[in-house]
Chain A
């Protein structure tokens, strides 16, 4: 059974159709990249999968591990195993990072009928994951994303991803705003989470990220449709020719 099946997905945002019939199947263990120019609908797809308000699905379906994903609230989707690494992680000044992490982990455990983590177990888990991502104790003591640099925010997203152990990771322009060193740290973190059970959807504008997170499949999104799909070599072709050719084809 596929992890994620998107069928003929049409999405409107304020009366404007952004996605015009997306078909996409992600199997367990597969890494798919979606590339496309600005305004092609990449972020819309990521938000629709995560369940953000304001995105109206007018046609089509999304099935995640056999369940109707579109019928679920955002927190239910997360608990079912969908994780969205935000392009712009949200700063929440009054909420401590550790409080947030513990609340999220325990909310998911509770919803799955598991026991809540004890504080020592929680701290141990966070430390181990944070070390791998160069997330310092000092960062963890700060309020959630408040005053974090671009790189720190992205590392914090991957930290959450590592701790929440989702089945499907959606990475929305995780490379944006990162220099090459930060990109390497983030990519290493993501690669460390690749596994036989876990699927990934890597959304990006540039081919650069895909040198570090090597996808199994690449799809080109243009004007709300997937206009071409292929292997990882498609990314190189795009880099060479640019999006213009594909945009014209759409």
Chain B
């Protein structure tokens, strides 16, 4: 995600609006002098390069310069009734989990439920920015991407979560982002999660907001995992249909770590998930899977870089998208294998199911390999529902719509099953089947 375009002066409406938002809000944002300097530097980088556009390779399929038309003001505290309405519309109500609530970009301790997570400490980002700002931003390179720079400039709140070495955390921990309002707002959350050596923990990052509200979310996660730990990181994007959503996920994992990332993405007029996953220790493994559901005129982009830096590592990526209506989807996946990363075993597969004639999906897998003794492969497919499979199901009396639903569900659930967490898997599959039930 290196910016390659020429420096320029801000000129789109959204860019001008962002400058106004920063000017109005910066005095009130958390953090002391050092943080303020960091915010200013990040914003001037943004001012220099502007919103990402199609000539920035990492944003080839998602041109924010044309797609982002406005930049609403930074969110203040959400009106209680509106926030409650969003909180109650829980798409995974059946899943037992602890909850860290981030409302309109800010950690709400009183709304959170931290029971059953011994060995885990949760601090507010604002507090850490004020007292120990060096703990925030260790994995972040503001000059890598202007949406990352904007998050640094405008981060309002979030959490700093620390899991003690050796902890076995019983309940999954949801970090839920709620965005609520009567008029459009922007929410910039930053969360820093550090997992100690040999710990075992499951996180669920989720996002939802006020129905039909054109809010904007720019969230960033920094995840560091110590040697030998096992982490499941699930993600549920269930944003309002008018929302614009960008998440940046930065992870750095140590030796023998097993990280399983599994995502279900739905909602949002425009959504982009970008991840930079660094396998920094020997024998580390990452499983990355995702199911994206797009309909109407939605656009969804998943862009991933997997960096293998040490010997004996492995990674598996399975990305699936069901694209309906006039929606467009994109997947960019790059596997980088450094010179010293011998015996790397990395596989990537992206599959799209096009559910209408007007649906579009673009896929760009890449390999950059500098080691000579590795096994790497990638593949991509895009196709329609199989006529043969559909006819077989219908020939048993299953009506067309239900037969299609079974086949789409099977296609998407496959990406959830590989994560092998039963409880989270059931919850995420419930979201897939709810999406399918309301289709048409």
Mask of A11-55 contacts with B, CB within 8 angstroms, 1/0: 000000000000000000000000000000000000000111100
Flag if A100 contacts B397 (CB, 8 Å). no
Asked if residues A86 and B394 are in contact (CB atoms below 8 Å), the reply is no
B370 interface contact, C-beta 8 A: no
Q: Which of A71-79, A192-200, A220-228 contacts B (4 or more CB under 8 A)?
A: A71-79
Neighbour of B397 across the interface among A89, A94, A95, A107, CB < 8 A: A107
A contact residues around B397 at 8 Å (CB): 75, 78-79, 104, 107-108, 111, 164
Check if A92 is an interface residue, CB within 8 A of chain B: yes
- The distance in angstroms between the C-alpha atoms of A108 and B402, with both chains bound, is 12
Given A95-B406, A95-B410, A103-B406; A90-B396 close (CB under 8 Å): no
Instruction: List A contacts of B410 (CB < 8 A).
Output: 92-95, 143
Q: How far is the CA of A104 from the CA of B399 in the complex (A)?
A: 9
Beta-carbon contact of A75 and B392 below 8 Å: no
- Contact check, A75 vs B398: say whether CB atoms are below 8 A apart: yes
Main secondary structure of the interface of B (DSSP, over half): helix
Interface flags for A62-87 (1: CB within 8 Å of B; 0: not) read 00000000000111011100011010
Q: Are B399 and A75 in contact (CB under 8 A)?
A: yes
> Does B400 sit at the interface, judged by CB under 8 A?
yes
- In the complex, whether A160 has a CB less than 8 A from a CB of chain B is yes
Q: Distance in Å from the Cβ of A45 to the closest Cβ of chain B?
A: 15
Whether B395 pairs with A74 at a CB distance below 8 angstroms is yes
Q: Which of B258-288 contact A (CB under 8 A)?
A: none
Judge whether A50 and B402 touch: CB under 8 Å. no
Chain B's nearest CB lies how many Å from the CB of A152?
16
Closest residue of chain A to B401, judged by CB? A75
A159-B396 Cα distance, complex, nearest whole Å: 12
Cα A73 to Cα B391 in complex, Å, equals: 10
- Complex CA gap A89/B413 in Å reads 23
Residues B383-440 near A (CB distance < 8 A) = 387-389, 391-400, 402-403, 406-407, 409-411, 413-414
The listed residue (A51, A99, A111) touching B395 by CB distance below 8 A is A51
Among A73, A92, A93, A95, point to the contact of B394 (Cβ < 8 A).
A73
Contact A74 B411 (CB under 8 A): no
Closest to A81 in B: B397
Is the pair A164, B396 in contact by a Cβ cutoff of 8 Å? yes
Chain A proximity of B155: nearest CB distance (Å)? 40
Choose from A50, A51, A100 the contact partner of B406 (Cβ within 8 Å).
Answer: A100
**How many of chain A's residues have a CB under 8 angstroms from any CB in B?**
29
Residues of A within 8 A of B399 (CB): 75, 107, 111
With A and B bound together, what is the CA distance between A100 and B409 in angstroms? 12
Q: A94-B411, A94-B414 are in contact. Are A103 and B392 (CB under 8 A)?
A: no
Closest partner residue, chain B, to A77 (CB atom)? B395
A80 to chain B, nearest CB (A): 9
Q: Report B-chain residues with C-beta under 8 Å of the C-beta of A95.
A: 393, 406-407, 410
- In the assembled complex, the Cα of A92 lies from the Cα of B402 at a distance in Å of 15
Cβ of A164: which chain B residues have Cβ within 8 Å of it? 396-397
Least CB distance from B152 to A in Å reads: 41
A104 and B396 in contact, given A92-B410, A95-B407 (Cβ under 8 angstroms): yes
Q: Quick one: closest A residue to B408, CB to CB?
A: A94
Say which residue of A50, A73, A77, A90 sits within 8 Å of B388 (CB atoms).
A90
Residue from B387, B393, B395 whose CB has the most chain A CB atoms within 10 Å = B395
Distance A143 CA – B400 CA, assembled complex (angstroms): 20
The answer to whether A160 touches B389, judged by C-beta atoms less than 8 angstroms apart, is no
Per-residue contact bits, chain A 84-125, to B (CB 8 Å; 1 contact, 0 not): 101001101111000110011001100100000000000000
Q: Pick from B397, B406, B409, B411 the residue with the most CB of A within 10 Å.
A: B397
CB of B396 within 8 A of CB of A78, answer yes
Shortest C-beta distance, A158 to chain B (Å), equals: 13
Whether the pair B407, A92 counts as a contact (CB closer than 8 A) is yes
CA distance A139 to B396 in the complex (A): 19
> Are A90 and B400 in touch, CB under 8 angstroms?
no
Please give the distance in Å from A30's CB to the nearest CB on chain B.
22
- Kindly identify which residue among B389, B400, B406 contacts A75, using a CB–CB cutoff of 8 Å: B400
Q: Bound state CA distance, A77 and B396, in angstroms?
A: 9
Q: How far is the CA of A74 from the CA of B403 in the complex (A)?
A: 12
Are B395 and A107 within 8 A (Cβ)? no
Which chain B positions have C-beta within 8 A of A78?
A: 394-397
Measured between C-beta atoms, what is the minimum distance from B69 to chain A in Å? 39
Q: List 30 A-B contacts (CB under 8 A).
A: A50-B391, A50-B395, A52-B391, A53-B387, A73-B400, A74-B391, A74-B395, A75-B394, A75-B395, A75-B398, A78-B395, A79-B397, A83-B395, A89-B392, A90-B389, A92-B407, A92-B410, A93-B410, A94-B407, A94-B409, A94-B410, A94-B411, A100-B393, A100-B396, A104-B397, A104-B398, A107-B398, A107-B402, A111-B399, A164-B396
Given contacts A78-B394, A95-B407, A100-B393, 11 further A-B contacts (CB under 8 A): A74-B391, A74-B395, A92-B389, A93-B414, A94-B410, A94-B411, A95-B410, A100-B396, A100-B406, A103-B398, A164-B397
Closest 7 CB pairs of A and B: A94-B410, A78-B397, A104-B396, A90-B392, A108-B397, A74-B394, A75-B394
